[in-house]
């Protein structure tokens, strides 16, 4: 694609990297076929190619974002299916990330939208505040249809996504070390993060047990908190980079202290962002090298477990598991086989979901900010999953767990919960009844 930036514009490193990405696009349109919003809406401007043109125009003209640009960029899930499909290697993720940052800096959103985004950016990343919000959501859940009728769809969407029961309080992990059960084979840091410990504390509990059982010492680095992913996807770059620097400091302290073989993440959305810290902070002389080192050590928990190999795994009940590949894991990190192979080796019957490349509609805060499209995508995903008649759905991202759980009665669990169970851990909470039924039918 030809571009027409001035030399002065190209002196800005963000414009220079965007220009390289734009020039790689050859307009072939292959990416449109796998883009969820194009599949749903059929509008070129809601396809990756259309959005690339809009971003090109916005950057070349060096003008504030228009309402038209904002509408179509906001509808993008950042699912990155287009990057998997693109034969020319267009790095759409870096391009749309920068477009979101430009929008945030140059476009004045309506007051309610601004307020909602400010609340999300403040509450979701603070586990204490978020737990209070979940409690309030639990009480107000029956009012979701009222908010929807009043036109307050994002509030209705938040209430519908609230779990039906209050999750157990998250454990205080900062600075804690979890020793291995047998001779130490390795040492890793495990991201606690922000949303995961509030909504699904069982995920990291299972990961820690599983790693300890396989001879791995697990540390929760002192001071580590939200990875910045949520703020980053809302274009709030200053907040995102400050959160990234905080975690880089926490993990660098461990890397330079007792050392780490890897930094493990059980939320694939966070993993994709942490693997990109090196790029995000490439122009920060104080952090560029440290950020690149942290990114190079970051692994999805299933990547690391696949390398380690599971011992003595046997599914305690003959369960059929539909594996839902989170976009951030399959498209963002290209981790495809490992979760499925681990589950199969552990004795589960693993089935691929038809149209597995399409997003479930979760996408960070997308299911709150774009509830109509998110609900359509969830309905399509759930229909595809239910065709398989599985006993359970396994996935590697808390956003997908919440999104799918709100649309089906099939239990949704994290992959590591099944692996922990198969290697001696407890039955994952949502599977207790299914496991009992299956075990008695044996």
Which stretches of the chain bind ligand SF4, using CB under 6 A?
A: 25-31, 35-37, 48-49, 51, 76-82, 85-86, 88, 90, 92
Tell me whether residue 88 or residue 242 sits nearer to ligand SF4 (CB atom): 88
Residues 6+ apart with CB under 8 A from 128: none
Taking the complex as a whole, the smallest distance from the CB of residue 147 to ligand SF4 amounts, in Å, to 26
Tell me whether residue 377 or residue 392 sits nearer to ligand SF4 (CB atom): 377
Distance CA 263, CA 267 (A): 12
Q: Which tokens go with 317?
A: 């009940």
Taking the complex as a whole, the smallest distance from the CB of residue 80 to ligand SF4 amounts, in Å, to 5
Tell me whether residue 351 or residue 357 sits nearer to ligand SF4 (CB atom): 357
Residues 6+ apart with CB under 8 A from 152: none
Distance CA 395, CA 417 (A): 10
User: CB-based burial of residue 234 (10 Å sphere; 0-12 exposed, 13-18 middle, 19+ buried)?
Assistant: buried
CB 26 within 8 A of CB 90: no
DSSP secondary structure code for residue 258 in this structure: T
Distance CA 168, CA 317 (A): 26
128 Cα distance to chain centroid: 21
Taking the complex as a whole, the smallest distance from the CB of residue 289 to ligand SF4 amounts, in Å, to 30
Residues 6+ apart with CB under 8 A from 380: 355, 358
Taking the complex as a whole, the smallest distance from the CB of residue 84 to ligand SF4 amounts, in Å, to 9
Q: Which tokens go with 320?
A: 């059929």
Tell me whether residue 210 or residue 326 sits nearer to ligand SF4 (CB atom): 326
Tell me whether residue 133 or residue 373 sits nearer to ligand SF4 (CB atom): 373
Taking the complex as a whole, the smallest distance from the CB of residue 105 to ligand SF4 amounts, in Å, to 21
Tell me whether residue 28 or residue 119 sits nearer to ligand SF4 (CB atom): 28
219 Cα distance to chain centroid: 22
Tell me whether residue 75 or residue 290 sits nearer to ligand SF4 (CB atom): 75
Taking the complex as a whole, the smallest distance from the CB of residue 270 to ligand SF4 amounts, in Å, to 17
Taking the complex as a whole, the smallest distance from the CB of residue 34 to ligand SF4 amounts, in Å, to 6
Residues 6+ apart with CB under 8 A from 37: 46, 47, 75, 76, 77, 373
Residue whose token pair is 């220079």: 16
Taking the complex as a whole, the smallest distance from the CB of residue 83 to ligand SF4 amounts, in Å, to 7
Distance CA 56, CA 62 (A): 10
CB 321 within 8 A of CB 361: no
Tell me whether residue 297 or residue 380 sits nearer to ligand SF4 (CB atom): 380
Taking the complex as a whole, the smallest distance from the CB of residue 303 to ligand SF4 amounts, in Å, to 22
What's phi and psi for 148, nearest 5 deg?
-65, -40
Taking the complex as a whole, the smallest distance from the CB of residue 385 to ligand SF4 amounts, in Å, to 20
Tell me whether residue 29 or residue 257 sits nearer to ligand SF4 (CB atom): 29
Tell me whether residue 46 or residue 417 sits nearer to ligand SF4 (CB atom): 46
Distance CA 280, CA 175 (A): 26
Distance CA 126, CA 11 (A): 37
CB 420 within 8 A of CB 342: no
């Amino acid at each position: 694609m030809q571009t027409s930036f001035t030399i002065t514009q190209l002196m800005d490193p963000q414009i220079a990297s965007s220009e390289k990405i734009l020039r790689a696009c050859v307009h072939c349109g292959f990416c449109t076929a796998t883009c969820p919003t194009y599949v749903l809406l059929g509008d070129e401007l809601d396809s990756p190619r259309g959005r690339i043109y809009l971003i090109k125009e916005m950057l070349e003209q060096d003008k504030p974002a228009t309402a038209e640009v904002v509408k179509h960029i906001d509808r993008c899930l950042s699912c990155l299916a287009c990057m998997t499909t693109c034969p020319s290697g267009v790095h759409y993720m870096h391009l749309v990330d920068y477009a979101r940052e430009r929008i945030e800096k140059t476009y004045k959103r309506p007051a309610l939208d601004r307020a909602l985004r400010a609340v999300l950016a403040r509450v979701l990343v603070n586990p204490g505040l978020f737990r209070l919000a979940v409690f309030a959501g639990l009480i107000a859940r029956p009012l979701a249809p009222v908010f929807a009728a009043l036109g307050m769809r994002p509030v209705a969407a938040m209430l519908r996504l609230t779990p039906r029961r209050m999750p157990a309080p998250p454990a205080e992990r900062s600075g804690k070390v979890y020793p291995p059960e047998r001779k130490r084979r390795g040492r890793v840091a495990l991201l606690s993060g922000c949303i995961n410990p509030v909504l699904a504390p069982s995920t990291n509990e299972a990961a820690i047990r599983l790693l300890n059982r396989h001879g791995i010492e697990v540390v929760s680095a002192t001071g580590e908190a939200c990875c910045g992913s949520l703020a980053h996807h809302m274009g709030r770059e200053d907040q995102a980079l400050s959160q990234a620097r905080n975690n880089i400091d926490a993990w660098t302290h461990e890397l330079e202290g007792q050392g780490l073989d890897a930094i493990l993440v059980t939320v694939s959305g966070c993993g994709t962002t942490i693997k990109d810290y090196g790029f995000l902070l490439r122009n920060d002389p104080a952090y560029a090298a440290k950020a690149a080192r942290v990114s190079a050590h970051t692994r999805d928990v299933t990547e690391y477990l696949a390398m380690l190999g599971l011992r003595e795994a046997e599914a305690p009940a003959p369960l059929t598991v539909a594996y839902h590949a989170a976009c951030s894991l399959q498209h963002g990190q290209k981790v495809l086989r490992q979760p499925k192979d681990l589950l199969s080796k552990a004795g589960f019957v693993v089935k691929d979901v038809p149209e597995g490349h399409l997003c479930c509609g979760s996408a960070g805060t997308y299911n709150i900010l774009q509830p109509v499209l998110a609900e359509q995508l969830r309905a399509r995903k759930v229909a595809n999953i239910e065709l398989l008649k599985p006993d359970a759905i396994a996935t590697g991202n808390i956003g997908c767990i919440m999104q799918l759980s709100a649309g089906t009665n099939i239990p949704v669990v994290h992959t590591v919960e099944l692996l922990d169970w198969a290697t001696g851990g407890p039955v994952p909470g949502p599977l207790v009844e299914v496991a009992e039924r299956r075990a008695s039918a044996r």
